Amino acid sequence: MPDLVKTLWQLIHEESSVRRVAKELEVDRASLYRSLKGGVHPRIDTVVKILDHLGYELQVVKANKKTKKVAEGKELPTEETIDKGRESRQETS
């Protein structure tokens, strides 16, 4: 998330100013600063609103890296193993 906030700051300063963006988005300048200050995770709708205003869009792209459990050599549960787990819990009930 810190990379996203840093990128938003860069885009705002490259395209305009915080004061102008806040005015055009009809939000208080202090609120915009609070939304983007370090250590804070801005809401997704805030991020999208800023990006849209600046002429950008947010895209979600599948990562090429494996999940932590797969990388550690542990298998992810399959439908078969999930069903077996349900059956064993029902038998003990």
DSSP letters, 53-81, are: HHT--------SSPPHHHHTTPPPPPHHH
Determine, yes or no, domain membership for 77: no
Determine, yes or no, domain membership for 30: yes
Determine, yes or no, domain membership for 15: yes
CA angle 48, 53, 57 (to 5 degrees): 45
- Its domain, for residue 46, covers 2-54
Q: Is the pTM above the cut of 0.85? A: no
Determine, yes or no, domain membership for 88: no
Determine, yes or no, domain membership for 71: no
Determine, yes or no, domain membership for 80: no
What is the mean pLDDT of the segment spanning 74-92? 62
- What is the tens place of the pLDDT at every residue in 25-74? 999 999 898 888 877 788 899 899 999 999 999 888 888 877 665 556 56
Number of domains, the chain = 1
- In whole angstroms, give the CA distance from residue 36 to residue 54: 15
Determine, yes or no, domain membership for 62: no
Determine, yes or no, domain membership for 61: no
